[in-house]
Chain A
Amino acid sequence: MITSTPVQTFKRILVILTACVLQLTCAFVFAADNGVSAELHAFKVVSGANGQKLVATADALPGDTIEYQVTYRNAGAAPARDVLATLPVPTGGMAYVADSATPAKVQASLDGKQYAPVPLTRNVVRDGKQVTETVPVAEYRFLRWQLGELAPGRSITVSSRMRLDGASKQ
C-alpha cells in the first residue's frame, strides 16, 4: 500500500495544478469542478445566394468575418449567479464587428479591466476643448455579457463576429 505524507500530497496537487494551467483541457477540468462549463467555437461567415451561413473553420483569409460562439452550461446542481461571460477580441488583426454581439446588450473594454456598455466613448482634448467621442469598435479588445443567473441544467450561448483585417497597401 502506498502512503503519502502531507508534503507529498501538496506536491502532487501542485503538479496537477501546473499541468492544468499548461493544458488546454484544464478548462473542462475546472468547469466540471465548478459546475459551469464554457465551450468556444469559431465559424466563418460565408455569404451565398441564400444569404449568410456559418461554416466551422480553423483558418481565415484577410477580410473574412469569423463568428465566435460560446456556450455556457451549468452542469451542477445549484444555480450559478451573477454570471459574467467574457469573450476577448483576439489580437492578430481581428476587430469587433459593430452590433454583432448576441445578446445585444453587451459591454466592451479596451484593457480587460474597465468595462462599459457599448458604444464606448472617451473624452479627448481637441483644439483646446474637451470633447466626447465614440471609440472606434476596432479598438475594442474584450466583450462581456452580464447573464445573471444560470439555472442547473441550463445553458446559454453568446456570440459575436470579428473581422480579420483585410487592409492592404495600395
Chain B
Amino acid sequence: MKMTPVQSALALAIGLSTVALQAGAATPAGTSIINQATATYIDSTLAARSATSNTVTTIVQQVASVSVSAGTSKNGSINGQVTYAHTITNNGNGADTFSLGATNTGAFTMAGVVFYADANGDGIADNATAITTTGPLQPGQSVHVVAVATLPASAANGATNNLVVSATSVFNAATTANATDVTTAAPASVMDITVNSAGSGAPGAGAGAEANAVQTKTTTPGTATRFALYLNNAGTGTDTFNLSASNDPNFGTTTLPEGWTVTFKDASGATITSASVAGGANTVVYADVTPPAGATPSTMDLYFRAQSPTTNVVDRVHTAVTITAPVGAELKVVKTQALDANCDGVADTAFSADNITTGAVPGACIRYEITAINQGSNAVGAVIINDLTPANTTYHLYSLSTGAQTTQGLVIAPLPGLNGLVQATVGTLLPNGSAKMSFGVRINP
C-alpha cells in the first residue's frame, strides 16, 4: 500500500505511541460530554481565519444494570436450613442500591428466606442481622450476600424446591437479575456401611445385611485380621453411630462365639465404640477380628452394624472370616476304625474314632483308615502317612485289593502275619486336599 506523506507521518506518530484505548465500563452517569466544532478558511484578503461554533453539552444519564451470581444445588432436611451464597454486582453506570427478594417454586415452599451480609464471601453470614437491600453500590462494585432458607416440616424426601433469588435496582425497578438455587429434601442421617472403599459401588453398598459375605478375610487361630469399614452418611447432618459385630445377621445377640473378639478402631488406631459421621461424608473405621487360639479351620459369617442411638438410622454389612491352620500345622490326621469280624477285608460297620466294644475277639480283624487333610492356605509337600500295626495284632491281607491302600501315592506294609510299619508316600496335598491310607490287622488268636 502506498501511503501519502500525511499517512506516513501519522503512521510514524502512532508507531511511537503504544497506548491503546481500553474499552471499559460504561461512561459514569452525570458525565458532561462537551463538543465544539471549528473551521479554518482563507478570506478575500488571503488572511487565515477561523470560526468556532457554540458548544454542545450532552449529560450522560444513569442506566441500571445488575447481575446475580449463579445458583447452586444442595440437600436439606426438614426444619433444617440451607445457605446459598450470591454475589450482586452493579453493572450500571451510576451508584445504585438493589433490593433483595426470593420466590419459591417446586414441591415444597421454604418456611422462611432471610438474607444476611457476607462481606468476605466465605458463604457464611457475617452476623444475625437480616438485610433486605445490598446498600449503595458504586458502578462495578459487588457485594456478597447469603440467602438462608428453612425447609418446612412437610418437605418429602426427594422433593425439590427452586428458590429464585433476585436483586432489583432501586433506581429503576424494571431492572432486575436473578439466580435459582435448588434444594432437595433429604433425610438428616442415612447410613450405608461399605467395606474397603466408600461410595455406591463399594462392596456392601446398599441397605441391610447382604445375603453373601462381601469380603472374606483369612487368618489363623489367635491372629487378628482387619476389616476396613466405611461409614457413609448420605444425609444432611452429622450423626453418631454405635458400632457392633455379630455372627447373627439380625443382631439377635452381639455376644460373639466363645473366644472371638472384635475391636473397633479409628484411623488413629484408638479403640472406639462409636463414630461420628458428617452429612454427605464418610468415616473409615477398622474392625480387628481375632478368632480363638484353638479354633479349628473353618469359615464364620460375621456382620458389622452401625446404628445411631438418636435417630435409629442403621446399616449392616456381611463379611466372613476363614480360619486356616497356622504354618507348620496345616496337616490334620484322623484315624478311624471298624470291625471286620470274618476277616474278609470289608468293614462290618462305618468307620469311627469310637472304641470298638464288641466283637473284637481273638482271630477277628480290624480295619483302619488314616486320613491326612491340608487345612492350610498353601500346598504342603512330601506328605507321608505312617502307622504301625498295634500290639497283639499282625498285618492282615485277605486280598490284594483289601490290603494296605492309599488314595494318593504309594503304600508299603509288612508281610501278612508280621508286625511293622504301614506307610503311604502321598507327596503334595493342596489346600483342603486330603489322602486316605487304609489297612487291616488280625487280633492275635
**Complex contacts, B55 vs chain A, CB 8 Å:** 24, 40
CA distance A60 to B61 in the complex (A): 6
Interface pair B49/A165, CB less than 8 Å apart = no
**Complex contacts, A68 vs chain B, CB 8 Å:** 35, 37, 56
CA distance A138 to B24 in the complex (A): 12
Interface pair B1/A114, CB less than 8 Å apart = no
Q: How far is the CB of B351 from chain A (nearest CB, A)?
A: 91
Residue B183, interface by CB 8 Å: no
Q: How far is the CB of A156 from chain B (nearest CB, A)?
A: 10
Interface residues of B in 25-73 (CB under 8 A from A): 25-27, 31-44, 49-61, 63, 65, 67
| Segment at the interface with B among A5-13, A47-55, A80-88, A97-105 | A80-88
Q: How far is the CB of B373 from chain A (nearest CB, A)?
A: 79
Residue B6, interface by CB 8 Å: yes
Partner of B41, one of A36, A39, A93, A122: A36
**Complex contacts, B65 vs chain A, CB 8 Å:** 168
Interface pair B56/A59, CB less than 8 Å apart = no
Interface pair A35/B43, CB less than 8 Å apart = yes
Residue B319, interface by CB 8 Å: no
Interface pair A92/B36, CB less than 8 Å apart = no
**Complex contacts, A72 vs chain B, CB 8 Å:** 39, 51
Q: A94-B33, A122-B14 are in contact. Are A169 and B43 (CB under 8 A)?
A: no
Q: How large is the interface on A (under 10, 10 to 19, 20 to 34, 35 or more residues)?
A: 35 or more
| Segment at the interface with A among B87-95, B102-110, B382-390, B399-407 | B87-95
Count of chain A to chain B residue pairs whose CB atoms are closer than 8 Å in the complex: 193
Interface pair B35/A88, CB less than 8 Å apart = yes
**Complex contacts, B57 vs chain A, CB 8 Å:** 58
Residue B80, interface by CB 8 Å: no
Interface residues of B in 7-37 (CB under 8 A from A): 7, 9-15, 20-21, 23-27, 31-37
Residue B4, interface by CB 8 Å: yes
Partner of A150, one of B4, B12, B36, B41: B41
CA distance A88 to B58 in the complex (A): 14
Interface residues of A in 148-165 (CB under 8 A from B): 150, 164-165
Interface pair A124/B34, CB less than 8 Å apart = no
Residue B140, interface by CB 8 Å: yes
Q: A90-B34, A114-B13 are in contact. Are A27 and B53 (CB under 8 A)?
A: yes
**Complex contacts, A90 vs chain B, CB 8 Å:** 33-35, 58
Interface pair B4/A116, CB less than 8 Å apart = yes
Interface pair B36/A88, CB less than 8 Å apart = yes
Residue A45, interface by CB 8 Å: no
Interface pair B41/A83, CB less than 8 Å apart = yes
Partner of A59, one of B11, B34, B41, B60: B60
Residue A34, interface by CB 8 Å: yes
Interface pair A40/B37, CB less than 8 Å apart = yes
Q: How far is the CB of B57 from chain A (nearest CB, A)?
A: 7
CA distance A110 to B14 in the complex (A): 8
Task: List the B residue with the shortest CB-CB distance to A66.
Answer: B58
Which residues of B come within 8 Å of A, CB atoms? 1, 3-4, 6-7, 9-15, 20-21, 23-27, 31-44, 49-61, 63, 65, 67, 89, 91-93, 140
Instruction: Please list 9 pairs of residues, one from A and one from B, whose beta carbons are closer than 8 Å in the complex, sorted by A's number.
Output: A25-B54, A38-B53, A38-B54, A68-B37, A85-B38, A122-B11, A122-B15, A168-B25, A169-B91
Which residues of A come within 8 Å of B, CB atoms? 24-28, 30-31, 34-42, 57-63, 66, 68, 70, 72, 76, 78-88, 90-94, 109-111, 114-117, 120-124, 132, 135-136, 138-139, 147, 150, 164-170
Given A57-B58, A165-B27, 7 extra CB contacts under 8 A: A40-B35, A40-B53, A86-B39, A87-B37, A122-B15, A139-B20, A165-B24
